[in-house]
């Protein structure tokens, strides 16, 4: 019999195959443990051991907890028998989630406790009285099917809490494979929901199986690499995990994981939206824009709209959805994905205004942009977007992939438009400031070059293009200068004023700097940094307004140059008392 240790050490077994083999080996071992514990007991036929949770699904990762339920028919000494089972497991160094209950107690908990109810949905018999175990599992499944509609409300609430805590698998640089949005727990929850009556298409079910296998492959490799249970794929673990999984690089691993996370999140979002429809749903069509209407709380395309001859239709749909905080219905998205053309060069008249209108919706635009990207529609508008899609950033300060970082920066910028003269240029600068990160070379220089082509294609005026290029070129200027240079040095202030040319650009860059930093991560923007940047901006504004730099600077006395002269004996400092 192959042991657990042998399977964990056998790196030829990966993903679901490793999980299944490990589950089977654990079963065989627990059969021995069980039989030893009940040996000589008169009522041993009144006991059954069930695998629940992930173990019940036969998805044990190398260092997963063992979740076991011992069910008995009022066996008086069940506590002593159970202890004989638990101690060998603990002695083997395994974490054990265990419970001992009668069938009645089990069913009562299934009706009142969500964790128990979901754990038993995928339970299976390991050893003992199979008839007893089968009856308990059947009754628990029946209870779930009958009460599932009520449970799904609580389940959805927990899911939303989990998203807020653990973020998204597709966009975090260090994603939680199990609890993050688009991770394994979402797949489990969808399975539970299906057993409670939710309908999923064959296509969705097939995709979930594929995504589950990919996530398990990465999870197994992560457990093996760390030699312990771990669900967060840290930056330092990504290269070795990629090698264990057979990816050519850590970037390839993270790109694949991002695609899986996107797919699971998309299916989950659509499914939960059907279970929790919007309060404003009405079957009466409400026109929103040419070819676009609101029906049952979702933004939909008119049946007769000509998608192939209307490139900007997708932006009208997206802006309407963001403005109403509504979803684009799935059929409409599929139609857009199948029929929307690649945008021409130059863009259609007014198209850049349509893009700005969407971006100015701020955070509400992010899920809409994600839905467009899920159907490969962003690259039809902006082909230069492809290299930054799902691209990780090898920097501990950054929290998001490049594409999500750009969207988050835009959302932050949309909150600051009252501080600038040109809100349109602010959100466009936010969208494009890191686009060069998808290409070889210095990302700032590459980004400026990319925008030469993009700006002309968008039909922007030369002056507007120049401002956005300045924002891209100098998007790090204020933060770097404020935190690394002497703000009492007139050369520092004069340099910033010279580079930015006008107060319009200065204000835009100030807002972009804050938006970019907030989108980077919690450690990238602080009160101290904000005050330094504001001080630099205020002093630069004075110079750009025609003022003398010396009017706003103070100098430490004696400064470094005076101290140097004093040390050489070339200058002496005397006070009034020295006279």
**In 39-63, which residue ranges form alpha helices assigned H by DSSP?**
53-56
Query: Rounded to an integer, what distance in angstroms lies between the CA atom of residue 144 and that of residue 117?
Result: 7
Domain with CATH 1.20.120.330 in the chain: 167-275
Q: Are 50 and 207 in contact (CB under 8 A)?
A: no
| CA distances from residue 97 to 43, 60, 229, 240, 334 in whole angstroms, order as listed | 24, 13, 14, 30, 44
DSSP-assigned beta bridge partners for residue 289: 292
Domain with CATH 1.10.110 in the chain: 278-381
Residues with Cβ < 8 Å from 266, sequence gap 6 or more? Answer: 370, 371, 374
Query: Rounded to an integer, what distance in angstroms lies between the CA atom of residue 416 and that of residue 409?
Result: 11
Domain with CATH 1.10.357.170 in the chain: 4-147
| CA distances from residue 100 to 27, 105, 135 in whole angstroms, order as listed | 18, 9, 16
Mean pLDDT, the chain, whole residue set: 92
Query: Rounded to an integer, what distance in angstroms lies between the CA atom of residue 34 and that of residue 83?
Result: 11
Each as own residue / partner, the long-range contacts of residues 517-523 (CB below 8 Å, 24 or more positions apart, any chain) are: 517/479, 518/408, 518/409, 518/412, 519/400, 519/405, 519/408, 519/409, 519/411, 519/412, 520/397, 520/398, 520/399, 520/405, 521/397, 521/398, 521/399, 522/399, 523/397
Please give the pLDDT value at position 365: 97
DSSP string, 78-114: HHHHHHHHHHHHHHTT--EEEEEE-HHHHHHHHHH-H
Q: Are strands 66-72 and 96-101 parallel, antiparallel or unpaired?
A: parallel
Query: Rounded to an integer, what distance in angstroms lies between the CA atom of residue 367 and that of residue 270?
Result: 12
Each as own residue / partner, the long-range contacts of residues 284-290 (CB below 8 Å, 24 or more positions apart, any chain) are: 288/316, 288/320, 288/324, 289/316, 289/317, 289/319, 289/320, 290/316
Query: Rounded to an integer, what distance in angstroms lies between the CA atom of residue 551 and that of residue 556?
Result: 15
Q: Are 82 and 96 in contact (CB under 8 A)?
A: no
The model's pTM:
0.86
Query: Domain spanning 4-147: which CATH class is it, in words?
Result: mainly alpha
Local confidence pLDDT in tens for the 579 residues of the chain: 789 999 999 999 999 999 999 999 999 999 999 999 999 888 999 999 999 999 999 999 999 999 999 999 999 999 999 999 999 999 999 999 999 999 999 999 999 999 999 999 999 999 999 999 999 999 999 999 888 778 888 898 999 999 989 999 999 999 999 999 999 999 999 999 999 888 899 999 999 999 999 999 999 999 999 999 999 999 999 999 999 999 999 999 999 999 999 999 999 998 988 877 666 678 888 999 888 999 988 999 998 899 999 999 999 999 999 999 999 999 999 999 999 999 999 999 999 999 999 999 999 999 999 999 999 999 999 999 999 999 988 877 888 999 999 999 999 999 999 999 999 999 999 999 999 999 999 999 999 999 999 999 999 999 999 999 999 999 999 999 999 998 888 889 889 999 999 999 999 999 999 999 999 988 888 899 999 999 999 999 988 888 777 777 655 556 666 677 777 777 766 666 655
Residues with Cβ < 8 Å from 568, sequence gap 6 or more? Answer: none
For domain 167-275, give its CATH number from 2.40.50.1020, 3.40.640.10, 1.20.120.330, 3.90.180.10: 1.20.120.330
Please give the pLDDT value at position 377: 96
Query: What CATH number should be reported for the domain whose range is 278-381?
Result: 1.10.110
Query: Rounded to an integer, what distance in angstroms lies between the CA atom of residue 118 and that of residue 439?
Result: 46
Q: Are 477 and 499 in contact (CB under 8 A)?
A: yes
DSSP-assigned beta bridge partners for residue 168: 181
Helix, strand or coil, per DSSP, at residue 418: helix
For residue 415, give both structure tokens. 């909150």
Triad 568, 570, 573: Cα angle to 5°: 105
């Amino acid at each position: 019999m192959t042991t657990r240790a042998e399977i964990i050490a056998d790196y030829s077994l990966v993903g679901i195959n490793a999980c299944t083999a490990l589950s089977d080996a654990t079963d065989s071992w627990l059969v021995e443990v069980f039989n030893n514990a009940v040996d000589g007991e008169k009522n041993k036929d009144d006991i059954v051991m069930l695998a629940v949770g992930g173990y019940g699904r036969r998805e044990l990762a190398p260092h997963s907890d063992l979740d076991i339920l011992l069910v008995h028919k009022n066996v008086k000494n069940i506590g002593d028998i159970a202890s004989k089972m638990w101690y060998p497991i603990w002695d083997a160094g395994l974490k054990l989630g265990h419970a001992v209950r009668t069938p009645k107690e089990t069913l009562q908990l299934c009706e009142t406790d969500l964790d128990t109810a979901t754990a038993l949905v995928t339970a299976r018999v390991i050893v003992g009285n199979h008839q007893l175990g089968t009856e308990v599992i059947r009754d628990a499944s029946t209870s779930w099917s009958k009460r599932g509609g009520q449970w799904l409300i609580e389940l959805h609430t927990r899911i939303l809490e989990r998203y807020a805590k653990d973020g998204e698998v597709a966009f975090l640089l260090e994603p939680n494979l199990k609890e993050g949005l688009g991770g394994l727990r979402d797949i489990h929850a969808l399975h539970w929901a299906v057993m409670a009556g939710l309908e999923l298409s064959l296509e969705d079910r097939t995709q979930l199986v594929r995504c589950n296998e990919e996530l398990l492959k990465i999870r197994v490799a992560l457990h093996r690499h760390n030699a312990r249970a771990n669900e967060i794929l840290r930056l330092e673990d990504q290269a070795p995990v990629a090698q264990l999984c057979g990816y050519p690089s850590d970037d390839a691993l993270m790109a694949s994981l991002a695609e899986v996370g996107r797919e699971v999140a998309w299916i989950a979002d659509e499914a939960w939206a059907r279970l929790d429809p919007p309060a404003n749903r009405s079957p009466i069509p409400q026109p929103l824009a040419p070819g676009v209407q609101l029906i049952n709380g979702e933004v939909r395309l008119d049946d007769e709209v000509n998608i192939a001859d209307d490139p900007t239709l997708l932006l009208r749909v997206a802006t309407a959805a963001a403005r109403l905080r509504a979803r684009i219905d799935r059929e409409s998205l599929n139609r857009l994905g199948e029929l929307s053309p690649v945008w021409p060069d130059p863009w259609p008249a007014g198209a850049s205004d349509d893009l700005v209108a969407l971006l100015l919706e701020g955070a509400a635009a992010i899920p809409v942009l994600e839905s467009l990207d899920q159907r490969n529609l962003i690259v039809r508008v902006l082909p230069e977007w492809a290299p930054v899609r799902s691209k990780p950033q090898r920097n501990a300060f950054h929290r998001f992939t490049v594409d999500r970082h750009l969207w988050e920066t835009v959302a932050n910028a949309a909150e600051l438009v009252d501080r600038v003269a040109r809100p349109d240029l602010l959100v466009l600068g936010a969208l494009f400031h890191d686009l060069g990160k998808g290409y070889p070379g210095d990302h700032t220089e590459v980004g400026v070059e990319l925008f030469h082509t993009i700006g002309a294609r968008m039909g922007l005026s030369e002056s507007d293009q120049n401002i956005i290029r300045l924002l891209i070129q100098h998007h790090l200027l204020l933060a770097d200068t404020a935190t690394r240079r002497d703000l009492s040095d007139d050369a520092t202030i004069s340099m910033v004023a010279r580079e930015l040319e006008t107060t319009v650009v200065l204000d835009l860059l100030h807002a972009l700097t804050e938006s970019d930093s907030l989108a980077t991560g919690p450690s990238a923007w602080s009160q101290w940094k904000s005050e330094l940047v504001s001080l630099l901006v205020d002093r630069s504004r004075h110079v750009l307004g025609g003022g003398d730099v010396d009017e706003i600077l103070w100098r430490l006395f004696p400064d470094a140059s005076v101290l140097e002269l004093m040390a050489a004996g070339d200058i002496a400092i005397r006070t009034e008392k020295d006279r």
